[in-house]
Structure 1
Amino acid sequence: MSSDNEKNLTATDGNLTGKILIAMPGMADPRFERSVVLICAHSDDGAMGLVLNRPLPEVDFGDLLAQLGIEADDSIRTIEVRFGGPVEPGRGFVLHKVPEHGDDPEGRVRIGRSLAMTTTRDILEDLANGAGPEAAVLALGYAGWGPGQLENELLQNGWLTGESADELIFGDSDQDKWSHALTVQGINPSVLSGAAGRA
């Protein structure tokens, strides 16, 4: 157990932007049970992230565009809509691939070398007409932490931190992402589940 705590302690020493959080078994908040969260911004002011493995099958991208008054043509892209987190559930965030070099327009936050988050209407209009980034997902709402809150949850062993991967962000198999995220970090999910007991 001490090695897990040490891993989380060292993870809090730096900025976690672009890293993932993997909910530990026994996560107290049911909204985040077995969740994988991409940290999109992290500073002394707090942190903001998007849940990567909670699809919203009842929300159709085309219907969402219609509600926003965005007209789609026959080349509309099929974009998965996910629950990004419990904060501001009516607000949308598009995670998408970007070229490694170049300027970021207003409304786009670069998370890694080739990954960004965009909050402007323009990207939805592009996707509605078959344009826009090659790989993209839409998240409604986000996960937020106040100053020191995420660091405290890490110290209490609520989350494991790890490296992100494209298949965790853009992959289709949401139900397997928690196990896959652990495997990517070199952790056997069944061992972790057995060692943690019940919440």
Structure 2
Amino acid sequence: MADDERWVGRLLVATPRLEHPTFRRTVILLLDHADGGAFGVVVNRPLEVDVAAVLPAWQPWVSAPRYLFQGGPVGLDSALGVVAVPSAPGGRTPVGVDRVVASFGLLDLDLEPADVVAQVPDLRIFAGYAGWSAGQLEEEVAEGSWWVLDARPEDPFAADPQELWHRVLRRQPSDLALYSTWPDDLTLN
């Protein structure tokens, strides 16, 4: 796969065709996409569980809503910290952050929050992730299960994440914006 075909840092937005409850109307921030597969986190599925239940030291620093998010169906016993990475003089990446793309990075949650929080404006913690084996994601996109769309820096940290699916579609410059009004249940239309 050529570098320009990789979708790291972009959003996977579930099409109405994807009806399985695990991914229905999800928005996924793609954190890695290579020949061996891909992985990302669902950014619009907050759990009604405080981060303090698993990582108490990080609770005061997570972006609102201050809940743990279900990042996907894989590795639910693991936690991933996603942060906004501000533009810094000289392009330096904050300590403890692995920059994924210009705007986003993965945070080492084993660090002390005091060593990091002053350097990152937004933080969200995810339980688990979504993953695809080699070629699987490309097949799902080709069959019409996902739209691959540009992410805005604020998308993974939206204060109203349940509305992200609608909002991302609504801002599209094409007929894709019409899907933002797609009813939850077509039989009620």
Give the TM-score taking structure 1 as reference length. 0.76
Give distance in 2, aligned partners of 1:127 and 1:157: 44
The correspondence for 2:163, drawn from 142, 167, 176, is 176
Retained in 2: the 8 A contact 1:92–1:138? yes
State the partner residue of 2:110.
Answer: 121
Aligned positions, number: 175
> Once the two structures are aligned, what percentage of the paired residues are identical?
29
Q: 1:19 — aligned with what?
A: 10
- The aligned counterpart of 2:61 is 77
Where in structure 1 are there 5+ consecutive unaligned residues? 1-11
What displacement does 1:171 show? 1.1
Deviations 1:8-55 (A, max 9, x none): xxxx97010001011000204311100000100000000001001000
Question: Structure 2 matches for 1:67-146, cutoff 5 A?
Answer: 70=57, 76-79=60-63, 80=66, 81-100=68-87, 101-103=91-93, 108-122=97-111, 125-126=112-113, 131=118, 133-146=120-133
Amino acid in the other structure paired with 1:193:
W
Alpha-carbon distance in 2 for matches of 1:49, 1:22: 12
Residue identity matched to 2:131: G
1:39 aligns with 2:39: no
Tell me, in whole angstroms, the C-alpha distance in 1 between the residues paired with 2:58 and 2:22: 33
Q: Which amino acid aligns with 2:83?
A: H
Contact 1:92 1:119 in 2 (8 A): no
Describe the superposition over 1:57-101 as per-residue Cα deviations: whole angstroms up to 9, x where unpaired: 1x11223224xxx598xxx32443211001101111111122431
**Residues 49 and 142 of structure 1 are in contact (CA less than 8 Å); yes or no, is this contact kept in structure 2?**
yes
> Closer, same or farther in 2 for the Cα pair 1:168/1:126, shift >3 Å?
same
Structure 2: runs of 5+ lacking an equivalent = none
Shift of 1:130: 6.3
Asked if residue 160 in structure 1 is aligned to residue 147 in structure 2, the reply is: yes
Query: Match of 2:136?
Result: 149
Structure ranking higher on relative contact order (CA contacts 8 Å, 6+ apart):
1
Name the CA distance, whole Å, in 1 between partners of 2:58 and 2:137.
39
Counterpart check, 1:188 vs 2:188: no
Aligned counterparts of 1:71 and 1:15: Cα–Cα separation in 2: 32
CA distance in structure 1 between the partners assigned to 2:100 and 2:33 by the alignment? 10
